[in-house]
Structure formats: C-alpha cells, structure tokens
Amino acid sequence: MAMRLDNVVKIHRPNTTSRRYMTEMDGLKCVHYGDIYKNYSGREVRSSDILNSISIDFPEHKIIKQNAIIIADVSETLDDWGHVTFIKFDGTPFINGTHTFAVVSDCDITLKYLFYYLRNDANIKMLRRFLTGVTVFQMSIKALCSFKLELPSLPTQTRIADILSAYDDAIENNNRRIALIEKAARELYREWFERFRFPGYEGVTFVNGLPEGWEVIPLGDMVNITSSKRIYLSEYVEDGIPFYRSKEVIQSANGEALTEPLYISVEKYNELKDRFGAPRENDILITSVGTIGVSFLVDKRVFYFKDGNLTWLQSGETPVLALYLFLWINSDIGQGTLLSSTIGTSQSALTILMLKRIKLLMPSNTVLSAERNRYRGGNAS
C-alpha cells in the first residue's frame, strides 16, 4: 500500500542560513544547498566532515543529532532538481540550511533505503512533477510530504541498501584515486609552470622573467575555440548518440556514471560531424554558464553536446598542448582567470570572445612533451 512520505519519516523545513554567517571555524555544522550541488551530491558524508559551520544560535529542536537525508529543494533547471546527500551522524550536531529539507527517521534501515530511492532517476522524475516555478524550480514542503511511495519489507530494504552501499564504496575508492591524481597534476603544474622548476631548468636562460623560448599569448592563438550547433527538443530520440549538457560534462569530469542521458540520432550526429566536426579525443569542453570552469578532457567516447552552456577547445590535434591547457584550467590561476573573465550578474557566463582574449604562458614544446610523459606515467601508476 502506498504511504505518504511524512507518514514514513519526519521532514525538517529549511533554516535561514545567510552565507555571511558561514565559517570554516567553530560553530554549528550546516549543510548549505550550494554545498550539496558542489561537494555532497549522491554521497554519504560524516557530520563532522560537513564543510561549513554557522556562527549563530538555533533552537534545540532544529539541531539534528541523528542520521539524515538532506535534499536541495531548488534548482535553476527542471532536469537538475534532485540532489541529495546522506549525513552520517558521528556525534557532531548539524542543521540543514537555506533551500534544503532534512529527512530523518528512527529506523536507519528505512532512511538508508530512502536515500537510494531518492537517487533513482525514475523516482526523481516523479518528484519533479511537484515542482513550481518558471526560471527557478522549487519543491514545497507540502508537496514533498504528500509524495506517496510503497516501501518493501525491512529485510528487502536492508538487502537493497547493502548492495547499493557496496557499489558506493567502490565508487568512493575510485574517486579518492582520481583526487590523488588531480592533486599530483596540480602540483606538477605549479612546480613546472609557476615556479619554473621543470626538468633541466638549471641550464635555461631566463629573459624578462621567462625561460628563453617561452611566451605569453592569447588562448585564441593557441587553440580554436568554438561551440556546437543547436539541437532542438524535437531532435531528441530514445536511443542513439549521447547528447551532453553541462550536467553530463560535470559527471564525466568527476568520473561519474551519467544519469538521465539524452540522445540524438546517429544520422543527425553524422550530419553534424561531417559538416562542422564533433568532439574527439584530447579536445576540452568547459562549462561556461552558471557553473564556470568545470573541464572535461575528452576521451575516446562518441557524443555531441549542447550549445551555449559549453565551450569547445579543439585541441585534439595537439595532445601535449591539450594536457597543458587542461591542467592550466584546473589550476588556481586558471580557475581565477576564468571566473574574472565572466560577464553577467544574475548568472555568470564565460563567452567565447572572452576566452580567446585570455593570455597565458606558452611553454616550449620540449617541456610540454615532458609534462605529458610525466602525467601519463603518474596516471598509469
């Protein structure tokens, strides 16, 4: 028998938590909706590992001292609503912040099962029917409470949660490996291209503060920068060539499986590829609207992508340059430069013109080749 969600669990309303009271120092741990999107989505996080704290007092009944599912209640796009995280209470109290619901239960088995239930694409699609809004889409607590679902028996819930938890553990281990590789890559970039301590630097002559043969040139002179051709809603099909939006690029950049992929026909893809080209290995895609600067170094997969929100660096012909640009984009300097080059107030955007004008260091081919060999060797290990 279908049951209302609020008959299965208790749902906490959002708490007003202004960013100006947020701190990484002492305070009450607070799960902000922005952190769910950026750091926690689909993950289990210990309460002591929540990134932010808040420096104001809250009534005791609003403070959570048990396991909880935190749901971001708002999204800028309809198909991006549904980000959740599981907070594992480890003795550190916390609250749910602005634009979040906290779901708690005295039955940890049911709560963990619901966490996986809320990560299922079909279930999220059903919940999206309750969203309201035009430019921003939001779930009301009344709608969430009234959502009906059927719960299997507790033994079945346990089996499902245990199996999916094992998959999560394997994914988390892989993500930790990826994080270590990315950290090593960032350090390589800093050591070679900021501190200039690349192999053989001791014997290099410096001219005006740069190694001889290096120069500073616009990004548009290094690589062709463009976007895709527009795909219309009527051109989506049930199966075919994957069609990436910002969401899929971010998931690919994070090494995650794609959820709710869209497709265009093979015929449409071939038409576009023949006339205008398509992403190929060692090209780079950058998110350029809203979430700025997430980059995906294209691998061997075949796909097409959405115009407007993604920018295409056609670096596939020069893999050594592609890797250098990819590491620059993900460096502190690169991220800062991209963010400072955006336009817009309500929603930031990084235009192709602004990208082309960005000036950055162009090392020698010898050093670029050595960098690629070092990176590939570290990645393989």
d(CA 62, CA 101): 12
215-362 CATH: 3.90.220.20
Cβ–Cβ under 8 Å, residues 320 and 282: no
d(CA 153, CA 1): 12
d(CA 345, CA 355): 18
24 pLDDT band, cuts 50/70/90, is: low
Q: Give the three-state DSSP class for 110.
A: helix
Return the pLDDT at 96: 94
Return the pLDDT at 167: 84
Q: What is the mean pLDDT of residues 45-73?
A: 92
d(CA 318, CA 220): 15
Return the structure tokens found at 15: 């708490």
CA-based radius of gyration for the chain = 23
Q: What pTM was computed for the model?
A: 0.62
Of residues 242 and 258, more confidence is placed in: 242
According to the per-residue pLDDT averaged within each range, which of 11-20, 22-31, 328-337 is highest? 328-337
pLDDT digits (tens, 9 = 90+) for 136-157: 899 999 999 999 998 999 999 9
d(CA 131, CA 344): 26
Same fold, 3-151 and 215-362: yes
Give the domain ranges of the chain: 3-151, 215-362
d(CA 172, CA 180): 12
Return the pLDDT at 346: 62
pLDDT digits (tens, 9 = 90+) for 277-293: 999 999 999 999 888 89
Return the pLDDT at 95: 95
pLDDT higher than 70, residue 376: no
d(CA 8, CA 118): 14
pLDDT digits (tens, 9 = 90+) for 80-130: 899 999 999 999 999 999 999 999 999 999 999 999 999 988 899 999 999
Q: Which CATH entry fits the domain spanning 3-151: 3.40.50.2300, 3.90.700.10, 3.40.50.10540, 3.90.220.20?
A: 3.90.220.20
